[in-house]
Amino acid sequence: MIEKINNLKKEILDKLSEIKDSKALADLEVFYLGRKGEFTKILRDISNVVPEKRAAMGKAANQIKKEIQEKVNEFKMQFESKETQEGEEDITLPGVKFETGHLHPITQLQYEMEDLFTSMGFMTLSGPELESDYYNFEAINIPPYHPARDTQDTFYIDSKNKEGENDLVMRTHTSSVQVRAMQKHGAPLKAIVPGRVFRSEATDVRHEHTFYQVEGFVIDRDITFSHMKGILELVGKKLFGPETKIRMRPKYYPFVEPGSNGEYTCFLCHGKGCNLCKKTGWLEILGSGMIHPNVLRAGGIDPDEYQGYAFGFGLNRLAQLRYKTDDVRLFNSGDLKFIKQF
Ligand code: DAH
């Protein structure tokens, strides 16, 4: 009997030395040591042995079983650590970083402006990028013969109307949405229009053919220039810090009368004069003015009853100033090395 047990032990140990993975090891364990296993059967047979020998034999058999079980456990541990190294994840390793991306710096600025203006009761509107000559120019007081057309190098689209004119353009500014908004919403009206605009520009470090603006306008009874100045000063403080001041200087735009440029104290030198502000202490940031009566009329609003102001910011210029970028073209370059900095 003992010999039979020892043979089985040898058989088991031989098989163990050939086993390659934990699955085969588990099968072997069941086959020999399981409830109906070969080794278990022999142990059961011990009950038939004559009583005088039974105790000693049982003890010896249990000892052998213990040895085999220990050997099996040893293999089990070996396989487990090996398989962890090969297949399973080692949770102590540093993880793989997910690239999540983020909003484009100009979009961030746009959203900031939208939040600010909506907090002051402005609607956020949009309009078509491919626009009619009418809304882009005529409706806002720039008739076909007007020399102001030359200040905006326009992409005319190659489609002619009955009169043989190119009547579709890539909008040159978001002011094109002014009359659309008046026709749709009437007065009183308080809205901003963020959006993309296009000019047939020879590009350089300060000029792009495709860029972003935020247009704004307020139309109501008894609206004055000082209402506009107040709002625009607040925007300046929000953009460049609470100590920012504004000054308005006359500037001609056909769709406003009077027209003005809005300038903020330079955030770099705080008005003392530096290279950024060309030693003037002021940064020219926006165009603005009181909406021309012809524009109100085109929008179906009676200029004797309502007045309004309008303004336009260039978002690329704002972003260029804020991030002190020397070349504005970087923003649309698609260069991830640049974009990932924001
Ligand atoms: N549309 C002008 C431009 O693109 C900016 C502008 C100037 C908008 C004066 C206005 C304004 O609303 O009143 O250069």
**What tens digit of pLDDT does each residue of 52-63 get?**
888 888 888 888
- Domain extents in the chain: 2-86, 105-339
| Topology, domain 105-339 | BirA Bifunctional Protein; domain 2 (3.30.930)
Minimal-distance CA residue to ligand 1 atom 8: 312
pLDDT (tens digit, 9 = 90+) per residue, 151-195?
Answer: 778 999 988 888 888 889 999 999 999 999 999 999 999 999 999
Q: Which residue has the higher pLDDT, 206 or 108?
A: 108
> Which protein residue has the closest C-alpha to ligand 1 atom 3?
173
- What atom of ligand 1 comes closest to residue 197's alpha carbon? 4
Q: At what angle do helices 2-18 and 22-33 cross, to 10 degrees?
A: 170
The atom of ligand 1 lying closest to the CA of 174 is: 1
- pLDDT above 70: residue 240: yes
Q: List pocket residues of ligand 1, CB cut-off 6 Å.
A: 173, 175, 215, 253, 256, 287-289, 310-312
DSSP labels for 74-126?
Answer: HHHHHHHHHHHHHTS--TTSPPPPP------HHHHHHHHHHHHHHHTT-EE--
How many A from CA of 194 to the centre of ligand 1? 13
Give tens-digit pLDDT for 143-155. Answer: 988 887 877 789 9
* Per-residue pLDDT tens digits for 280-331: 999 999 999 999 999 999 999 999 999 999 999 999 999 999 898 989 999 9
Stated pTM of the model: 0.73
* Distance separating alpha carbons of residues 114 and 137, to the nearest angstrom: 25
Place of tokens 């900031």: 112
* pLDDT cut 90: percent of the chain above it: 60
